[in-house]
Amino acid sequence: MALQTDGIVLNNRKIKSIYFLLEIDCPAIANEAKPGQFVMISTSDNHHPLLRRPFSIYKSYSTLHPSKEKRGQLSILYKKVGKGTQKMSTFKEGQKVNLIGPLGNGFILPPLPSPAATILIGGGVGMASLSALGEALCSEKIYVFIGGKTKDDILCEDDFPKGKVFIATEDGSLGKKGTVVDLFLSEIERFDRGRPHHVYICGPEGMVKSLSKALKSKKWIIQVSLEARMGCGFGACWGCVVKTRDTEMAYRRVCKDGPVFPLSEIVWESS
Amino acid sequence: MKSVHHPELSIRIGKMELKNPVIVASGTFGYGQEFENFMDLSQLGAIIPKGISLNPMQGNPPPRIFETNGGILNSIGLQNPGLQVFIKEKLPYLKKIKTNLIINFFGKTQAEYVELARRLDSLDGISGLEMNISCPNVKQGGIIFGSDSKMTYRLVSEVKKSIRRPLIVKLSPNVTDITVIARSAEEGGADAVSLINTFKAMAINIHTKKPELGNVTGGLSGPAIKPIALRMVWEVSRAVKIPVIGMGGIMKAEDAIEFMLAGASAIQIGTANLIRPMTGIEVINGIKKYLIQTKMDQIQSLIGFFKA
């Protein structure tokens, strides 16, 4: 159940280039959060910026977590790009921050036991929700493909102890040179046999679109977590819609009906 | 000295009695249920769910929302499931909330407005209707009616003839003189006018050289428009005798009080609902506090207190 609540900033630091990690003490949301869900964060008290900003939940530790220090914590991985994230990067330890969450549907985990592979493909801060998913997975065969423009854009590469991690950078500064989609396609033969695999995607629109094209003929179970500009985050304004194959209501809300959708349901409009 | 502990907050709009003057605006409050985790919905003076048309509407292509300085541009395009689905899936929940339910509606033609109004009027659990003649985002959103005083008069009188419940007419600021349209609505028999809807506006991304909204233009709302909205509410409340419901960038109780001083009998909260879902409740509490502090025992004394 989503609620509006204050959290306390525990830590807010740059992890590399323009990427930041915000850790918040917020038991009410941390207790409820599932992989793939998000929070709306208020970045200002004086309406500049006006709207809250949506962020995937990166890590969340319930109040029953074995590590006492971590109990009730929630963390957000963000990229400083605009007015909102600029303000966020100035949050200080001990400061109050107002959140609404957890929001959205989250990923559906693969059934167990499964002889099929679980494949995670992501780029940039899209890795945050895939990392949360990775933490929750009990599958055996986990493959993680991470992409970025340069090595500074590669995030969460150490978050998958249970998985085999592949890295691609467009400038070749880390891992294989090229896009993460190219890298994944060069490894796709690994997955030619076996049951329908479970694929989870989260990243920039270009990446998601080319994967959508490349995986069209595969009878795999593919879930994508979408990004959108949002008004409210909880389904009231209908500002964040995406076009789907739903015949009764083509435009569905990323915040409430998503952010996770079966990839085959999304209709990509030319832009 | 007189002491006031429980100021009277109730107001009347036509035959409707509201326990307080705070209403949540159409299009910013979903169908009510989206807000149930955040507040006790029955505390609101009235709820106006997202606007309804006779048939389902797809809405505009995304992106539909863009933030500007102090404001939001939106071009949702009145997406809604149509009357049938509304009655079946949304109304049962809304009816159970112990406050006034006002249904916002619109049509493509005068005949459609009249038919929809008649069908809504026949439903149980509805206190009143709010007729949208002012959406800037779709041609069929009524703006064609709301920017012409003769058409406004004709439409309002036809709709009014076919319903029994109070009719509020929601006005557009995108007109030469909003008081002229307000007077036409009053002459047509409107029980109240609500204003303002959003300002038609746009934004262009200089990197992609494309508009920020899929629909190119949208409606501007939020604190950026409040001073203009306030001026229009003040002008209209002096031009008509029917109650005026004020809105436009109300974020907190102080804003609401300003609108009431300018002549609004009630106010609507829009954009703020998206940011702080329980703004409505905070505004009610803030108004109550203000009345106690200023030793006013009823909200009525606040309405139109400011006379130039």
This complex has an ipTM of 0.94
Buried/exposed A13-48: b ≥16 CB within 10 Å, e otherwise: eeeeeebbbbbbbbbbbbbbbbbbbbbbbbbeeebe
Same domain? A98 vs A116:
no
Same domain? A69 vs A88:
yes
Would the pLDDT of B285 be above 80?
A: yes
Contacts of A49 in chain B (CB under 8 A): 67
Q: Do residues B174 and B147 make contact, with C-beta atoms less than 8 angstroms apart?
A: yes
Tell me if chain A has a CB within 8 Å of the CB of B30.
Answer: yes
Exposed, middle or buried: residue B93 (CB in 10 Å: 0-12, 13-18, 19+)?
middle
In chain B, alpha helices (H): 82-85, 91-96, 110-121, 143-146, 149-161, 178-188, 226-239, 253-261, 271-275, 279-293
Same domain? A177 vs A123:
yes
Cα A157 to Cα A142, A174, B78: the distances in Å are 13, 11, 43
Among A85, A103, A121, the domain boundary falls at A103
Among A70, A103, A136, the domain boundary falls at A103
Same domain? A159 vs A254:
no
- Active site residue: B52, B94, B135, B262, which one? B135
* Total length of chain A: 271
Average pLDDT, chain A: 93
Nearest to B79 among A2, A231, A251 (CB): A251
Among A88, A103, A118, the domain boundary falls at A103
Across residues B183-194, what is the average pLDDT? 98
Same domain? A86 vs A134:
no
Nearest to B58 among A236, A237, A251 (CB): A251
User: pLDDT tens across B53-83, in order?
Assistant: 999 999 999 999 999 999 999 999 999 999 9
Band (A246; pLDDT cuts 50, 70, 90): confident
Position B171 scores a pLDDT of 96
Same domain? A217 vs A233:
no
- Cβ distance A240 to B62 less than 8 Å, yes or no, reads yes
- Cβ distance B278 to A4 less than 8 Å, yes or no, reads yes
Nearest to A236 among B28, B64, B251 (CB): B28
Same domain? A165 vs A135:
yes
- Cβ distance A232 to B63 less than 8 Å, yes or no, reads no
Nearest to B274 among A51, A241, A249 (CB): A51
Same domain? A65 vs A119:
no
Q: For chain A, what percent of residues have pLDDT higher than 90?
A: 84
Same domain? A209 vs A236:
no
User: pLDDT tens across A174-197, in order?
Assistant: 999 999 999 999 999 888 776 788
Interface of B with A in 210-229 (CB under 8 A): 222-223
Position B1 scores a pLDDT of 47
Q: Which domains does chain B have, with CATH numbers?
A: 11-302 (3.20.20.70)
Would the pLDDT of B294 be above 90?
A: yes
Across residues A158-172, what is the average pLDDT? 95
Q: Cβ–Cβ contacts within 10 Å for residue A227, how many?
A: 21
- Cβ distance B65 to A243 less than 8 Å, yes or no, reads no
Residues 6+ apart with CB under 8 A from B76: A237, A238, A239, B27, B59, B60, B64, B65, B137
Q: For chain B, what percent of residues have pLDDT higher than 70?
A: 96
Tell me if chain A has a CB within 8 Å of the CB of B208.
Answer: no
Edge-to-edge, what's the strand order for the sheet holding A163-169? A176-177, A163-169, A142-148, A118-123, A198-202, A221-225, A260-262
pTM summary value: 0.95
Position B308 scores a pLDDT of 65
Contacts of A234 in chain B (CB under 8 A): 34, 277
User: pLDDT tens across A46-94, in order?
Assistant: 889 999 999 999 999 999 999 999 999 999 999 999 999 999 999 999 9
Q: Do residues B256 and B237 make contact, with C-beta atoms less than 8 angstroms apart?
A: no
Contacts of A239 in chain B (CB under 8 A): 64-65, 74, 76
How many Cβ pairs closer than 8 A exist between chain A and B?
Answer: 96
For residues A23 and B139, which has the higher predicted lDDT (pLDDT)? A23
Question: In chain B, whose CA is at the least distance from the CA of A2?
Answer: B37
Position B140 scores a pLDDT of 61
The enclosing domain of A248 has a CATH number of 2.10.240.10
The enclosing domain of A44 has a CATH number of 2.40.30.10
Would the pLDDT of A148 be above 70?
A: yes
SS3 B269: strand
Position B102 scores a pLDDT of 98
Position B228 scores a pLDDT of 98
Average pLDDT, chain B: 95
- Tokens at residue B268, please? 């609507």
Position B134 scores a pLDDT of 81
Q: For testing the chain B interface, which of A44, A97, A227, A251 should be mutated: the one with the most B CBs within 10 Å?
A: A251
Band (B189; pLDDT cuts 50, 70, 90): very high
User: pLDDT tens across A86-143, in order?
Assistant: 999 999 999 999 999 999 999 999 887 777 889 999 999 999 999 999 999 987 789 9
Q: What is the H or E stretch that residue A133 is in?
A: helix A127-136
Residues 6+ apart with CB under 8 A from A69: none
- Tokens at residue B62, please? 């995304």
Question: In chain A, whose CA is at the least distance from the CA of B279?
Answer: A4
Across residues B244-259, what is the average pLDDT? 98
Q: Which residue range(s) make up the domain with A257?
A: 226-271
**Cα gap A233→A240, rounded to integer Å:** 8
Band (B306; pLDDT cuts 50, 70, 90): confident
Distance of CA A67 to the CA centre of its chain: 24
Same domain? A99 vs A121:
no
Across residues A11-25, what is the average pLDDT? 96
Same domain? A204 vs A156:
yes
Interface of B with A in 260-289 (CB under 8 A): 271, 273-278
Across residues A252-263, what is the average pLDDT? 97
Residues 6+ apart with CB under 8 A from B88: none
Same domain? A112 vs A217:
yes
Task: Collect all residues from A whose CB is shorter than 8 A from any CB in B.
Answer: 1-4, 42, 47-52, 100, 228-232, 234-243, 248-251, 256, 269
Q: Cβ–Cβ contacts within 10 Å for residue B302, how many?
A: 23
Position A112 scores a pLDDT of 79
Number of domains forming the structure of chain A: 3
